[in-house]
Chains A and B, each alone.
Chain A
């Protein structure tokens, strides 16, 4: 294997995999979205009219707005909480390693259980909701609220549950990144008189930049593309929590508008692409190395 051909050989397995199972279906799906299609029979050519219909649908606009708000909260939350947890479990405390496993627990949980637990937790106190019961127990009855039943707070709660669910994963990502930081950099900073916070700001964070980039990317994808589960189990996409993926699901499976649903999916792709590429070029981390 000569040097110049090496990268292409390396790329081959991956490209074959995604070529067959992702790129081909994406292309075919796009072709389908240009026709009338009810899931079984492909009808006549409709061109971009389905796209136009989706873009002008008020339901879609609402779903999009919710998704953007959701994504903003979730991406920031996952990164901040994940990083904080990673720092926390790297502290020189005894027994801290056990916590690494414990804090990863939510990631392993089945979504149905997560839904059941948080629904019960956030319910009204007379329905057995722990949070509201706790609030009234400490005298804060005024704060008692229908958390998942009110449009404003429902989306916030769903975002928080999503952050809670994945924080352990981001903790793991950051932890692995922190393990690879050269200890001599810390030693040098300490010699310069830097305290813990300064060491964090000037050594850890810069070294973690590529990891932060990836973590944000993952969080972004998760919020836009894989948010169906958490929204569905908590609120059945009601009360102001309809996001684009639940909207898509309704279109496809409740109403049978498969082609329209597919068009929605591609519009979503374009929107995420805009966000992702903007972030990619802004953070510039692709250019930093070699």
Chain B
């Protein structure tokens, strides 16, 4: 490095400071949730910011035993996994076609995908009802999973297309010359090289599906099929929202999500550069 040591030290300090500020503003609500989850209802209402009068753990127990949060988690996991599988398969293939192949109608397909991203779900409620009912998928996890996949499709295709376009062509040509089919090229060559991007898309979409309230509220009306966001609505009872219990449920739900994200993040999003091909 040609920079003098003083400047490096300063830059480093500035970097840390910026990171710290950024982290604090991201952590604020999380700390609030965690602190709130240990309070009693009255304690929370009086002052939601300060530390609990007494640290109570029963909110967590109540959340899982009384409010049956575990059931919601199970349902959410099911729908999200299903939706993610459908989405990744369809989006990867479509994105690859758009990224690497010149064919008549390519522009049209792009436009169609763009347009489908622009319609708010409210508007499609009734038509979707009709479609799902004719397919016999109303109220099923598969139906909602397909809807999730369809809503995330446009964004995923564009993101993946962007990442695929960054892969050097020589590698694919080499594979093609060796006799690999298009699908094999996609699976064995392109995907590993774009793993950070692919993983990011998976993470982002999983998050969106996990947090979706509208589609699951409208299409999974059976209480036994409620996903997490729908189930959390039940905390908003008639007269008194049990905030601490709700916050306990949210903490319990956010922590595993974060762990999964952190693990995936380390494994895939960083460090696996495109240099592997060289």
A, B bound: yes
Chain A contacts to B: CB under 8 angstroms: 1, 3, 6-18, 20-26, 28-29, 32, 37, 39, 85, 88-89, 91, 93, 96-97, 99-114, 116-118, 120-121, 128, 130, 164, 168-169, 172-173, 175-177, 179-180, 182-183, 207, 210-211, 213-214, 217-218, 221, 224-226, 228-229, 245, 248-249, 252, 258, 261-262, 264-266, 268-269, 272-273, 276-277, 280, 286, 289-290
9 intermolecular pairs with C-beta atoms under 8 Å apart: A10-B186, A17-B86, A22-B124, A24-B131, A28-B127, A29-B123, A164-B25, A176-B269, A221-B118
**Complex Cα–Cα for A214 and B114 (A):** 11
Q: Is the interface of B mostly helix, strand, loop or mixed?
A: helix
The 4 A-B pairs of least Cβ separation, nearest first, read A265-B123, A14-B94, A25-B127, A21-B150
Inside 8 A of B32's CB, which chain A residues have their CB?
Answer: 117
A23 touches B124 (CB 8 A): no
Inside 8 A of B115's CB, which chain A residues have their CB?
Answer: 26, 269, 273
B48 touches A128 (CB 8 A): yes
- Who on chain A is nearest to B168 by CB? A182
A180 touches B163 (CB 8 A): yes
Cβ of B204 under 8 Å from chain A? yes
B158 touches A214 (CB 8 A): yes
**Complex Cα–Cα for A258 and B207 (A):** 30
B158 touches A217 (CB 8 A): yes
Interface string of B78-113 (1 = CB under 8 A from A): 000000001001110110110111110010011011
**Complex Cα–Cα for A37 and B130 (A):** 14
B230 CB to nearest chain A CB (Å): 12
Cβ of B159 under 8 Å from chain A? yes
**Complex Cα–Cα for A164 and B25 (A):** 9
A179 touches B270 (CB 8 A): yes
A177 touches B118 (CB 8 A): no
A258 CB to nearest chain B CB (Å): 7
Inside 8 A of A100's CB, which chain B residues have their CB?
Answer: 265, 269-270
B194 touches A11 (CB 8 A): no
A180 touches B269 (CB 8 A): no
Inside 8 A of A105's CB, which chain B residues have their CB?
Answer: 26-27, 30, 258
Most chain A beta-carbon neighbours within 10 Å: one of B124, B161, B258? B124
- Who on chain A is nearest to B112 by CB? A23
Number of A-B contacts (CB under 8 A): 283
Q: Is the interface of A mostly helix, strand, loop or mixed?
A: helix
A88 touches B18 (CB 8 A): yes
Interface residues of B in 221-278 (CB under 8 A from A): 229, 232, 243, 246-247, 250, 254, 257-258, 261-262, 265-266, 269-275
**Complex Cα–Cα for A24 and B119 (A):** 13
Besides A22-B153, A109-B29, A273-B118, 10 new A-B residue pairs in contact (Cβ under 8 A), listed by A number:
A6-B101, A17-B153, A18-B113, A26-B116, A102-B26, A104-B265, A107-B207, A112-B246, A168-B26, A214-B161
Beyond A29-B126, A97-B266, A213-B162, is A106–B15 a contact (Cβ under 8 Å)?
Answer: no
Cβ of B74 under 8 Å from chain A? no
**Complex Cα–Cα for A6 and B19 (A):** 46
- Who on chain A is nearest to B257 by CB? A108
**Complex Cα–Cα for A97 and B268 (A):** 13
B273 touches A177 (CB 8 A): no
Cβ of B33 under 8 Å from chain A? yes
**Per a CB cutoff under 8 Å, which of A3, A26, A277 touches B119?**
A26
Most chain A beta-carbon neighbours within 10 Å: one of B97, B114, B122, B261? B122
B258 touches A108 (CB 8 A): yes
- Who on chain A is nearest to B147 by CB? A21
B155 touches A221 (CB 8 A): yes
Interface residues of B in 26-67 (CB under 8 A from A): 26-30, 32-33, 47-49
Cβ of B171 under 8 Å from chain A? no
- Who on chain A is nearest to B23 by CB? A102
B1 CB to nearest chain A CB (Å): 9
**Per a CB cutoff under 8 Å, which of A20, A110, A128, A225 touches B229?**
A110
B159 CB to nearest chain A CB (Å): 5
- Who on chain A is nearest to B251 by CB? A113
Inside 8 A of B122's CB, which chain A residues have their CB?
Answer: 228, 245, 248-249, 252, 261, 265
